[in-house]
Amino acid sequence: MFQNRTDAGRQLGALLADGNVEADIVLGIPRGGLPVARAVADALDAPLDVVVASKIGAPSNPELAVGAVASDGTVWYNDDLLDRVGASEAYLDRERERETAVARGKLERYRGSDRPPDVEGKRVVVVDDGLATGATTIAALRQVRAAGAARVVLAVPVGSPDSVERLRAEADEVVAVETPPHFSAVGQFYRDFGQVSDEQAMSYLDR
């Protein structure tokens, strides 16, 4: 479906432009979202910056996201999962603090400051390379909303139909190039879906 993240960003940018989506700023979710967001920002003639969130894993399975927290402490929990995995309040408090610090540290590395970009009153497009569970994306969107953005659009090249539908409640608009019914992982829709290092990701930013 997509050659690589840059190709995906160009297709996504064209779709947004055709839909008359306007942006005062584009925010990529590191790391994989930044190559996509660079092409989107170029298509919309908008500056590119970052919004950072970190996953909160389940007690017995760190890869299973029971929630996520953004760099400013904005948090989202998957209530359905919490009941099943037995995450105590003390565990969630501890993990929230730890992952907030992780997100803030990454923000500082990318921006040279732990202060997120100013989005108050702005039309914001949040971009990632795909939408699987959507945990970190929800935390990122909630941070942008809480910071006073006038309009928030989530844009992804590909996403699971369920997640895309669920995130419509978190943004003013959700735009996806493809929402395949047989979705198992974001990487299956890219010919090249290699890891993106922090250094590579930072090279896409406007500095």
Go through the domains of the chain in sequence order and give each one's CATH number: 5-51+119-202 (3.40.50.2020), 54-111 (3.30.1310.20)
The encoded tokens of residue 135 equal 């945990």
pLDDT tier at 107 (50, 70, 90 boundaries)?
A: very high
Q: What is the pLDDT of residue 1?
A: 85
Task: With cut-offs at 50, 70 and 90, classify the pLDDT of residue 83.
Answer: confident
Percent pLDDT > 70 in the chain is 100
Q: How far apart are CA 9 and CA 64, in angstroms?
A: 27
Report the percent of the chain where pLDDT is more than 90.
Answer: 93
pLDDT of residue 47: 97
pLDDT at residue 206 above 80? Answer: no
Distance from C-alpha of 106 to C-alpha of 60, rounded to nearest angstrom: 25
d(CA 32, CA 16): 19
| 25-35: average pLDDT | 97
pLDDT at 32 over 80: yes
Q: Would you say 1 and 190 are in contact if contact means Cβ atoms under 8 Å apart?
A: yes
Over residues 4-13, mean pLDDT: 98
Name residue, tokens 């909630």.
Answer: 142
Judged against a pLDDT cut of 70, whether residue 124 lies above it is answered with: yes
Whether the per-residue pLDDT at 23 is higher than 80: the answer is: yes
Average pLDDT over residues 137-151: 97
